[in-house]
Structure 1
Amino acid sequence: MTKFYKSTLFGGAALALFALSAYQTKINDKPADPVYDNLDQSVSPRDDFFKYANGGWLKRNPIPAAYSSWGIGNVVSEQLRDRLKKINEDALKANAPKGSSTQKIGDFYYSGLDSVNIEKQGTSPIKAQLDLIDQATDIAGILNAAAILTTTGTRNFIGSGVRQDAKNSAKTLVQLNQTGLGLPNRDYYFKTDARTTKIRADYTTTHLPTMLKLSGWDEQRATQGAASVFKIEKFLADSSRKLENLRDPYHNYNKMTIAQLGKLTPNINWPALFGKMEYKQAIDTVIVGQPEYYRAVNTALSSFSIDDWKAYLRWKLISSYAPYLNSAVDAESFRFSGKVISGRKEQLPRWKRVLDTENGLMGELLGQLFVKEYFPAEAKQRYTDMVEAIRQAYREHIAKLDWMSPETKQKALIKLNAIHPKVGYPDKWKDFSNMQIGRESYAANVMQARRWAYLFNINKLGKPIDHTEWGMTPQTYNASYSPSNNEITLPAAQFSIPGVKDSEVDDAVAYGYVAASTIGHEITHGFDDEGRLFDAKGNLRAWWTATDSVKFTQRAKVLADQFSGYVVLDSLHVNGKATLGENIADLGGIALGIDAFKKTKQYKEGKLINGLTPMQRFFLGYALGWLGQERDEALANQILTDVHAPGFLRVNGPFSDVPEFYKAFGVKKGDKMWIDPDKRVKIW
Structure 2
Amino acid sequence: MTKTSAFPLRRTLLLLQACCLAMSAQAQAPSASAQLQQQASQPLRSGLDASGFDPAVRAQDDLFRAVNGTWLKRYDLPADKARFGSFIQLRDLSDERVRAIVEDLASRPDNKRPVIGSVEQKVADYYSAFLDTVAIDRAGLDPIKPALARIEAIRTLAELAQWQGGMQGRFSLPINLNVSPDVLQPTVNRVSANQGGLGLPDRDYYLKKEDARLAKALKAYEQYLETLARLSGEVDSAQVARRVLAVETAIANAHWERVLLRNPAKRNNPMSVAELQEKAPGFDWALLMQSAGLGGQGRLNVGQPSTATAVARLYADLPLADWKLYFKLRTLDHAALSLPQAFREARFALRDQALTGIQVEMPRWQRSIAELNGALGEGVGQLYVAKHFSPAHKARMQALVDNLLLAYRESIEGLDWMSPATKAEAQLKLSKFISKIGYPEVWRDYSELKVLRADPIGNAERAAAYRWQRQLARVGKPVDRKEWSMTPQTVNASYSPTLNAITFPAAILQPPFFDMAADDAVNYGAIGAVIGHEISHGFDDSGSQYDGDGALRNWWSEADRKAFEGIADKLVAQYNGYSPIAGKTVNGRLTLGENIADLSGLQIAYKAYRRSLQGKPAAKIDGFSGEQRFYYGFAQVWRGKARDEWVLQQLLSDPHSPSEFRANGTPINHDGFHEAFGTQPGDKMFKPAAERIRIW
- For residues 447-500 of structure 1, what are the alpha-carbon distances to aligned partners after superposition, in whole Å with 9 as ceiling and x for unaligned? 2112211221222111111111111111111111111011101111222105x9
Aligned to 1:636: 648
- Which residue matches 1:164? 181
1:586 is the counterpart of 2:598 = yes
* Aligned equivalents of 1:427, 1:447: Cα separation in 2: 28
Per-residue CA distance 1:372-427 (angstroms, 9 max, x = gap): 23223332222101111111111111111111101001111010111111111111
User: Deviation of residue 98 (structure 1)?
Assistant: 1.1
Any conservation in 1 of the 2:226–2:241 contact (CA below 8 Å)?
yes
Distance 2:632 2:472 in 1: 44
Equivalent pair of 2:47/2:519 in contact (CA under 8 Å): no
Please name the residue that 2:524 is paired with: 511
Does residue 81 of structure 2 align to residue 67 of structure 1? yes
Distance 2:46 2:597 in 1: 30
Secondary structure (helix, strand or coil) at the match of 1:526 reads: helix
Give, in angstroms, the shift of residue 501 of structure 1. 8.3
How do residues 527-606 of structure 1 correspond to structure 2 at under 5 angstroms? 527-601=539-613, 604-606=616-618
One-letter amino acid of the counterpart of residue 157, structure 1: P
Other structure's SS at 1:34 match? coil
- TM, length-normalised to structure 2: 0.91
Distance 1:89 1:549 in 2: 54
Distance in structure 1 (CA, Å) of the matches to 2:390 and 2:131: 33
What aligned pairs does 1:256-405 form with structure 2 within 5 A after superposition? 256-279=271-294, 282-405=296-419
The code of the aligned residue for 2:191 comes to V
The correspondence for 1:483, drawn from 489, 492, 497, is: 497
**Displacement of 1:61:** 2.8
Alignment of 1:195 with 2:207, yes or no, is no
Distance 1:187 1:227 in 2: 18
Contact in 2 for aligned 1:35/1:620 (Cα 8 Å): no
Q: Give, as a single letter, the amino acid of the residue that structure 2 aligns with 1:233.
A: E
Q: Following the alignment from structure 1 to structure 2, what is the Cα–Cα distance between the partners of residues 330 and 627?
A: 32
CA distance in 1, matches of 2:70, 2:572: 31
Pick which of 633-642 and 348-357 moved more. Answer: 348-357
Aligned with residue 444 of structure 1, among 447, 458, 461: 458
- The 3-state SS of whatever aligns with 2:191 is strand
1:667 aligned residue: 679
Paired AA for residue 370 in structure 2: D
In the TM superposition, residue 48 of structure 1 has moved relative to its aligned partner by: 1.4
1:298 aligned partner, one-letter code: A
Cα displacement string for residues 596-624 of structure 1 (whole angstroms, at most 9, x for unaligned residues): 00122498342111111111111111122
Q: In the alignment, what sits opposite 1:178?
A: 195
Per-residue displacement from partner, 1:254-300 (whole Å, max 9, x unpaired)? 11111101112222222222221123x51110100111111111111
Matching residue of 1:237: 252
Distance in structure 2 (CA, Å) of the matches to 1:283 and 1:537: 24
Aligned to 1:286, what secondary structure does the other structure show? strand
Q: Secondary structure at the match of 1:301?
A: helix
Q: CA offsets, 1:113-140, max 9 Å, x none?
A: 2211100112222211100111112211
Letter in 2 for 1:167: L
How many Å apart are 1:631 and its aligned residue?
0.4
Q: What letter is aligned with 2:232?
A: S
Map 1:17-32 → 2, pairs under 5 A: none
> 2:275, 2:593 → 1: CA distance?
33
2:228–2:329 CA contact under 8 A, matched in 1: yes
1:320 aligned partner, one-letter code: H
Give the superposition deviation at 1:371. 1.6
Q: 1:181·1:237 contact (CA, 8 Å) conserved in 2? A: yes
- Give 1:216 shift: 2.5
AA paired with 2:177? S
Distance 1:656 1:165, change over 3 A: same
CA RMSD of aligned residues (A): 1.8
Q: Does the 8 Å contact 1:379/1:502 carry over to 2?
A: no
Offset of 1:347 from its aligned partner? 0.5
Q: Distance in 1 between matches of 2:384 and 2:135?
A: 31
The residue aligned with 2:32 is none
Distance 1:34 1:376 in 2: 25
2:161 aligned partner, one-letter code = L
Q: Select the residue among 113, 131, 134 that pairs with 2:152.
A: 134
Alpha-carbon distance in 2 for matches of 1:370, 1:68: 26
Secondary structure of the 1:673 match is coil
How many Å separate the matches in 2 of 1:324 and 1:626? 34
Q: Distance in 2 between matches of 1:34 and 1:106?
A: 38
Secondary structure of the residue that 1:177 maps to in structure 2? strand
Partner SS, residue 409 of structure 2: helix
In the comparison of the two structures, how many residue pairs are matched? 649
SS class of match (1:308): helix
Q: CA separation of 1:511/1:404 partners in 2, compared to 1, >3 Å: closer, same or farther?
A: same
> What pairs up with 1:134-153 in 2 under 5 angstroms?
134-151=152-169, 153=170
Shift of 1:150: 2.5
- 1:110 correspondence with 2:123: no
Is 1:657 matched up with 2:669? yes
Distance 2:615 2:68 in 1: 23
Q: 1:446 to 1:456 in 2, by over 3 A?
A: same
Determine if the alignment matches structure 1 residue 462 to structure 2 residue 476.
Answer: yes
Q: Which residue of the partner structure matches residue 242 of structure 2?
A: 227
CA distance in 2, matches of 1:81, 1:513: 22
Measured in 2, the distance between the counterparts of 1:168 and 1:673 equals 45
Is 1:121 paired with 2:177? no
Q: Give the partner amino acid of 1:264.
A: K
The Cα shift of 1:73 comes to 1.9
Partner residue in 1 for 2:171 = 154
Q: CA deviation at 1:231?
A: 1.2
The aligned amino acid for 1:565 is: G
Aligned to 1:677: 689
Q: Is the 8 A contact 2:403 2:608 kept in 1?
A: yes
Listed as ranges, the gaps of 5+ residues in structure 1 are 1-29
